[in-house]
A = this chain, B = another copy of it.
Amino acid sequence: MADTKLRIGILGASGYSGGELVRLLLGHAGVEIVLLTADRKAGKHVGEIFPHLAGQGLPFLIALDEVEWSGLDLDIVFCALPHGTTQEIVAGLLHATGHGLVDELVVEERGDLIAALKSDVRVFDLSADFRLDDVATYAEWYGHAHLAPDLQTEATYGLSEFARDRIRASRLISCPGCYPTAALLPLLPLVEAGQVDASDIVIDSKSGVTGAGRAAKEEMLFGEVAEGIHVYGIARHRHAPEIEQELTRAAGHAVTVSFTPHLMPMNRGILSTVYVRLVNGATAGDLRATLLSRYADEPFVAVVPEGLAPSTRHVRGSNHCLIGVFEDRVAGRAILVSVLDNLIKGAAGQEVQNMNIACGLPETQGLGQLPLFP
């Protein structure tokens, strides 16, 4: 039955998200990794850059430009490339020939690629390149024009629990950012239910360092991060427009949120504390009921029992998101707390979940790991 396994390529396999993808897919019986690219680490074996994944029979890392697409016979491509470099690549992967800036590039430079890839290849992208529906918003936040605007219209914002049908129908699934996933899972059902005021939402998020990737930057050195916490990107973090896009969709009117990320001295995990104003007579208990009902059958999202407070250490290493609901002591307000592992439910795990959905596999396949505590 080996020949029925989905053939997987991972572009950008040497970062933290790429490493998690490899780890998860090695434990997934329905797939086979046949391509790993990494430009700066081309020529190395996975065991050199991820010693914890040594000895698993993986292909060597090659540079993206050196890939011989012909014969790879890929069913699935995961893109874990840096933001801003993905649009052109994905356009090539998907034979995009629309009216964007990449048209000529695609035609001229990626001809072999187009010829080699299956027509039904699916792309799961972990970058931010295809998360914003509105290419003008993209340009505003990312500082350059979108390179594949036509393709953007095809892209699905893959918050798994809210996009299953679209994911099944799409050949380009964009993984939500880690902060948006943590914020949207508690908020979307409540905004949809009209229980909270979408115009008065404060999202205070605390993240471990791996969300910033594996690039060597002074501010991410152990010496700069350990034994401290700091705030960053206040009122201008690129995950804010994603959160607002989805809340706007749910609310039916334009939503702007206060969103403040903090960097914590830990490797994995996001905890978001969300302050909301209750409307339409809703109580904190009503919010809890809405969330319990909404997620009752979800394998990866759970509301913790009353009185317990979610901790990132209870989801570390898993695809779980836990949500707590609390009555605020300020009348008419409530507090939501969500936790997840930013590299899994906030990145690689959610894309594997999306792959399972898209390809008709059991949604939990390859994602059964319980959290690792402590």
| CB closest chain-B residue, reference A237 | B329
Q: How many copies does the complex hold?
A: 4
Find out whether the CB atom of B370 lies under 8 angstroms from the CB atom of A23. Answer: yes
In angstroms, Cα B273 to Cα A232, docked, is 11
A345 smallest CB distance to B (angstroms): 14
Find out whether the CB atom of B222 lies under 8 angstroms from the CB atom of A258. Answer: no
Task: Mark interface residues in A311-330 (1 if CB within 8 Å of B CB, else 0).
Answer: 11111111000101011111
Report A297-313 residues with CB < 8 Å from chain B CB: 302, 304-305, 308-313
Cβ–Cβ < 8 Å partners of A256 in chain B: 329-331
In angstroms, Cα B48 to Cα A339, docked, is 17
- A51 touches which one: B231, B308, B317 (CB < 8 A)? B308
Find out whether the CB atom of B55 lies under 8 angstroms from the CB atom of A302. Answer: yes
Known: A217-B216, A221-B222. A228 touches B312 (CB 8 A): yes
Find out whether the CB atom of A222 lies under 8 angstroms from the CB atom of B23. Answer: no
Find out whether the CB atom of A273 lies under 8 angstroms from the CB atom of B262. Answer: yes
Chain A interface residue bracket vs B: 35 or more
Q: Which of A27, A215, A265, A269 has the most CB of B within 10 A?
A: A265
Find out whether the CB atom of A222 lies under 8 angstroms from the CB atom of B329. Answer: no
Find out whether the CB atom of B273 lies under 8 angstroms from the CB atom of A275. Answer: no
**A115 near B: Cβ within 8 Å?**
no
**A105 near B: Cβ within 8 Å?**
no
Find out whether the CB atom of A230 lies under 8 angstroms from the CB atom of B317. Answer: no
User: Hey, which bits of chain A sit against chain B, CB under 8 A?
Assistant: 16, 19, 23, 26-27, 47-48, 50-56, 202, 204, 206, 208-210, 214-218, 220-232, 234-236, 240, 256-260, 262, 264-269, 271, 273, 275, 302, 304-305, 308-318, 322, 324, 326-331, 333, 335, 337, 339, 368-374
